Amino acid sequence: MNPTRQTTPTPDLDPVMTPADLLRGAALYLQHHGWTRHQFYDLTADTDGPFPPACTSGAIMTAATGRCPANGMCTLDDENSATIDVIRAMRVFAAWVDLEYSPTNGYGTSAIDVIGDWNDYDGRTLDEVLETLTDAADNWDGIHHTGGAR
């Protein structure tokens, strides 16, 4: 490159969201907005703002997309959502909470079902959910020192 030629600055690209980022984001969401069981979002909760209490799956999805579906349904087919990142983070978390889960075992139990069963388990507490999300994120970072291959 000619030293007198100025380069055109390029805009910074959005950083890649790793599963660990989304799991920690989900934990933060639950800390600030609350946790629920047996539904993705508790739309009946008295909240200030557009972010209701969520289950673990709902919190992961909101961490990736920055929004909650208005109808409370968790869908991953919206072209504006970070579908691949959500699925990847859910699979990482499902494998963390259920050692028998594997996304490569054909059409077995889905990650969202594994997480839902874990989230809805009688006696589960918010503290346990937050700790488990953080532990799974720490484990991901420990294995994937540079953020991991995507």
pLDDT of 123-133, one tens digit each?
A: 999 999 999 99
Domain count for the chain, please give it: 1
Residues facing residue 41 across a β-bridge: 54
Instruction: Let me know if residue 147 belongs to a domain.
Output: no
Q: Over pLDDT 70: what percentage of the chain?
A: 75
Burial class (CB in 10 A: 0-12, 13-18, 19+), 64: buried
H/E segment holding residue 140: helix 126-143
pLDDT on residue 89 = 94
Number of neighbouring beta carbons within 10 Å of residue 111: 23
pLDDT for 87-137, tens place per residue?
Answer: 899 999 999 999 988 877 666 788 999 999 999 999 999 999 999 999 999
Number of neighbouring beta carbons within 10 Å of residue 85: 21
Instruction: Let me know if residue 109 belongs to a domain.
Output: yes
CA 3 from centroid of its chain's CA atoms: 45
Instruction: Let me know if residue 12 belongs to a domain.
Output: no
The DSSP output letter for 83 is: H
Instruction: Let me know if residue 50 belongs to a domain.
Output: yes
Instruction: Let me know if residue 101 belongs to a domain.
Output: yes
Q: Of how many residues is the chain composed?
A: 150
pLDDT greater at residue 1 or residue 98: 98
Instruction: Let me know if residue 118 belongs to a domain.
Output: yes
CA atoms within 13 A on the CB side of 25: 21
Q: Which domain holds residue 120?
A: 19-142
Instruction: Let me know if residue 149 belongs to a domain.
Output: no
Residues in Cβ contact with 89 at an 8 Å cutoff, skipping those fewer than 6 apart: 19, 22, 23, 26, 60, 63, 64
Q: What is the pTM of this model?
A: 0.79
Average pLDDT (14-24) is 84
The DSSP output letter for 102 is: -
pLDDT greater at residue 125 or residue 68: 125
Instruction: Let me know if residue 76 belongs to a domain.
Output: yes
